[in-house]
Amino acid sequence: MVIPTANSLPARPTLGFIGAGRVARALAKAASDAGYRVEVVASRRIESAQHIASTLPECAVLPLERPGDMHAIFSRADLIFLTVSDDALADCAAHLAPQAGQALVHCSGASEVGLLAPATRSGGQIGGFHPLFLFAGLDDDAARLSGSAITIEAEAPLNEILQRFASDIGCRPLSIPAGERMRYHAGANYAASFLLCLLDEATHLWKAVGLPESDAREAMWPLVMGTLNAARERGLSGALAGPVSRGDAGIVTRHTEALAAMGGNHATLYSLLTLRAIHLARQRPNADNAALDAIARTVAPYIPPATPERDA
C-alpha cells in the first residue's frame, strides 16, 4: 500500500482529464461511480467537456483556448489522464509540468510513455493506462468497461495507484514493459478492428454468391458469437473448427481455387489465415501433423515467399 507523503500521490488521488472524447467520457464516469472525485475536464471542445462534466458531481470545465492554458489543470487535480490523439501527446507534454505528488498519464496503446518525459521537469510522474476496450461513444460505455483488461506502464508509486484504480473501476490491470507498445497495440488490433475486417471479408464472399448484404450480416452473428463463446470456454485451439481442424486438405484446395478465381487477394488472405489455423491445430493433443503438412503445401502457392509457416 502506498503511504502518502508530501512528495507522493495520494493513494486515492483526485482526477482530471485533458481531452473530452469517448475515452474520457467513459473513464470519468467509471471513476466517479467507483467513488473517485473527477475535479475537472479540459478541452478545446467546450461543449464536449461540459457534457462530460454534467454527468459528474461538482466537476469543473477548463476551456483550452491556447496550449499554455492546460497547465492550470494541476491546480485542480492530482492525477491527470491525457485522453487526446496520439499526434497531440508530445505537444501536450511540453505544456504540462506536474509537481512532485502529481502525475500525468496517457491512455494511448500505441505511443510510448517516454513521449511524456518533458512533463517530468518539475518532479511529477508519468505513465500509461490503456483500456483494452472498444469505446463506442454509447451511454453505457462506462458500465461495459467493467471486466476489461487495462495495460499499465509506470514506475512506483504511480504504478500501484494506477493498478488500484483499474481494479476499483472493475477492470483487470496488466503490465507491459517499456518499449513494447507497438507490438502490444498491433496485437490489440487483431482482437478489435481486424476482427471486423475478417467479418467484412465473409460478407463480401457471401454477397458474391448472391446473398443480400443484410442477410449475410445477420447470418454471421450466431456463428461469430458461438465461436467466441467456445474460445472462451475451451481456448483458441480447442475451439478451432472447419477443414483445418479436421485435416481436410481437399476442402482447403477447393476453397483456395474458388477464391483465386475471383481475383484480388482473397486466396492470399485465406491462405495466410490457414497457416495460423494450422498453428492452432498443432497445439491439440493427437494432432495429425501429416495432414496439417499437406494443408500447408496446399496453400503455399498463394502465400508470398517471405511468409513461411514457421512464422505463424
The pLDDT score that the predictor gives to residue 138 is 87
Question: What are 94's three cell numbers?
Answer: 511540453
The pLDDT score that the predictor gives to residue 5 is 46
Q: Contact at 8 Å (CB) between 150 and 176? A: no
pTM of the predicted model as reported, rounded to 2 decimal places: 0.84
Three-state SS letters, 106-173: ECCCCCCHHHHHHHHCCECEEEEEEECCCCCCCCCHHHHHCCCEEEEEECCCHHHHHHHHHHHCCCEE
How many whole angstroms separate alpha carbon 249 and alpha carbon 10?
Answer: 61
Domain 15-180 = CATH 3.40.50.1400: no
Question: What are 280's three cell numbers?
Answer: 492452432
The pLDDT score that the predictor gives to residue 1 is 35
Q: Contact at 8 Å (CB) between 8 and 101? A: yes
Measure CA 268 to chain center.
27
The pLDDT score that the predictor gives to residue 7 is 65
Question: What are 57's three cell numbers?
Answer: 458531481
How many whole angstroms separate alpha carbon 189 and alpha carbon 18?
Answer: 25
Q: Contact at 8 Å (CB) between 173 and 150? A: yes
Q: In which residue ranges of the chain is CATH 3.40.50.720 found?
A: 15-180
The pLDDT score that the predictor gives to residue 177 is 87
Q: Specify the amino acid at residue 306.
A: A
Q: Contact at 8 Å (CB) between 169 and 149? A: no
The pLDDT score that the predictor gives to residue 2 is 39
How many whole angstroms separate alpha carbon 17 and alpha carbon 35?
Answer: 16
Q: Contact at 8 Å (CB) between 237 and 284? A: yes
The pLDDT score that the predictor gives to residue 67 is 82
Along the 312 residues of the chain, how does pLDDT read in single tens digits? 334 444 678 889 999 999 999 999 999 999 999 999 999 999 999 999 999 999 999 999 999 998 889 989 999 999 999 999 999 999 999 999 999 999 999 999 999 999 999 999 999 999 999 999 989 888 899 999 999 999 999 999 999 999 999 999 999 999 988 889 999 999 999 998 999 999 999 999 999 999 999 999 999 999 999 999 999 999 999 999 999 999 999 999 999 999 999 999 999 999 999 999 999 999 999 999 999 999 999 999 999 886 555 555
The pLDDT score that the predictor gives to residue 311 is 53
Q: What is the phi/psi pair of residue 89, to 5°? A: -60, -50
Give the number of other Cβ atoms within 10 Å of residue 91's Cβ: 13
Measured CA to CA in angstroms, residue 166 lies from 69, 161, 172 at distances of 29, 9, 6
Q: Specify the amino acid at residue 136.
A: A
Question: What are 222's three cell numbers?
Answer: 450466431
